[in-house]
């Protein structure tokens, strides 16, 4: 299953709930890259400068990580979140899946407008320990800066400032939105309105994937 949509559409949130409910593996390339940055690996160091500016990390870097990861998970159901993000990545993904005799069952496209995205991202903070997400208006933590779930520290992502958010939206329109046509052509694109509460959006997603 692929989850697509602009930054802030809720890909990670929806993918996480789906993965828990159906025992699937949730692969978020953003999370994978942020772990590499934390560990200061060669990939992390290269990726960081692109991510902080809101640009895509080069295709070859992503493809090398994702190819080996997918092959190691060939017996599991997988939700891809944040990959593919370019036509080149999508073409390479099709090839890899082909070689593994796997297919993409459904592509869920979360649709939300730019104003909503900017508000969501600019107000969000993430737990450094458990990954829990909060929002100043829609889901504030009980104590400012502290995770309700585990007591960990909350921090804003480095790329969630207004300048970088706008850049990420541009990059999405230019490089990633064309994938909708690509998957529409393959007949498995499902569009979901990503406005409303997490639960409302989740029930729409379920309608599409059941
Ligand atoms: P969002 O979807 O909100 O932008 P992600 O956590 O999915 O957040 O991605 C954060 C950043 O990681 C992107 O802006 C980009 O720099 C990098 N990244 C993630 N996935 C990819 C990908 N498939 N190709 C290139 N860069 C990627
Ligand atoms: Zn936490």
Tell whether ligand 1 has an atom less than 6 A from the beta carbon of residue 5: no
DSSP assignment of 171-198, as one string? HIIIIITTHHHHHHHHT-EEEEE--S-H
pTM of this prediction?
0.92
Summarize pLDDT for 116-129 with one digit per residue, the tens.
999 999 999 999 98
Summarize pLDDT for 16-49 with one digit per residue, the tens.
999 999 999 999 999 999 999 999 999 999 999 9
* Burial of 7 (C-beta count, 10 Å sphere; 0-12/13-18/19+): buried
Q: Relative to the CA of 8, which ligand 1 atom is closest?
A: 3
Tell whether ligand 1 has an atom less than 6 A from the beta carbon of residue 63: no
Q: Is the pLDDT of residue 131 over 90?
A: no
Summarize pLDDT for 54-85 with one digit per residue, the tens.
999 999 999 999 998 999 998 899 999 999 99
Tell whether ligand 1 has an atom less than 6 A from the beta carbon of residue 168: yes
Active site residues per annotation: 11, 85, 124, 157, 168
User: Cα(96)–Cα(68) distance, rounded to whole angstroms?
Assistant: 10
Q: Which two tokens stand for residue 191?
A: 């569009």
Per-residue confidence (pLDDT) for residue 210, from 0 to 100: 81
How far is residue 114 from each of residues 53, 117, 122, 146, 170, measured CA to CA in Å?
18, 5, 12, 28, 10
Pairing state between β 25-28 and 78-81: parallel
């Amino acid at each position: 299953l692929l989850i697509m949509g602009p930054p802030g559409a809720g890909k990670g949130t929806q993918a996480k709930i789906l993965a828990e409910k159906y025992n699937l593996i949730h692969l978020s390339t953003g999370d994978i890259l942020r772990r590499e940055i934390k560990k200061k690996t060669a990939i992390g160091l290269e990726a960081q400068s692109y991510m902080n500016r809101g640009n895509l990390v080069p295709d070859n870097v992503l493809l090398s990580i994702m190819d080996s990861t997918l092959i190691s998970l060939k017996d599991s159901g997988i939700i891809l979140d944040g990959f593919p993000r370019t036509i080149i990545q999508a073409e390479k993904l099709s090839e890899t899946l082909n070689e593994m005799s796997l297919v993409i069952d459904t592509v869920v496209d979360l649709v939300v407008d730019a104003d909503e995205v900017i508000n969501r991202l600019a107000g969000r903070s993430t737990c450094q320990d458990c990954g829990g997400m909060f929002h100043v208006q829609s889901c504030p933590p009980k104590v400012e800066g502290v995770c309700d779930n585990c007591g960990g520290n909350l921090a804003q992502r480095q790329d969630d400032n207004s300048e970088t958010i706008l850049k990420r939206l541009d990059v999405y329109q230019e490089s990633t939105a064309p994938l909708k046509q690509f998957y529409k052509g393959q007949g498995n694109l499902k569009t979901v309105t990503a406005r409303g509460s997490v639960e409302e959006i989740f029930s729409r997603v379920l309608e599409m994937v059941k």
